[in-house]
Chain A
Amino acid sequence: MKLRTGLLPQPVMTLLITFLWVVIVSRFTLGSLVMGALVGLAVPLLVRAFWVDRPVMRRPLLALGLLARVLGDIVVANIEVARLVLGPTARLRPTWLDLPLELESPYVATILCSIVSLTPGTVSVDIDMAGRRARIHALNAPDPEAAIATIKRRYEAPLKEIFRC
Chain B
Amino acid sequence: MPVSPADLLVSLLLLVGSGFALVGSIGLARLPDFMTRLHGPTKATTLGVGAIVIADMVHTSVTTGRLSLQELAISLFLFITAPVSAHVLAKAALASQARRAAGRSSD
Contact = CB atoms under 8 A, between A and B. Distances in A.
Interface string B73-107: 10010011011101100110010000000000000
Given A117-B83, A121-B39, A123-B38, A82 B20 contact: yes
Given A75-B47, A89-B30, A123 B91 contact: no
Contacts of B62: none
Contacts, number: 87
Which bucket holds chain A's interface residue count? 20 to 34
B83 A137 contact: no
Interface of B: prevailing SS: helix
Given A85-B26, A85-B27, A118-B79, A78 B68 contact: no
Given A82-B20, A85-B23, A89-B30, A117 B73 contact: no
A93 to B, nearest CB: 10
Contacts of A85: 23, 26-27, 30-31, 40
Which bucket holds chain B's interface residue count? 20 to 34
A89 B70 contact: no
Interface of A: 20, 23-24, 26, 74-75, 78, 81-82, 85-86, 89, 92, 94, 113-114, 116-118, 120-121, 123-126, 137, 139
Interface of B: 20, 23, 26-27, 30-33, 35-36, 38-40, 42-43, 46-47, 50, 68-70, 72-73, 76, 79-80, 82-84, 86-87, 90-91, 94
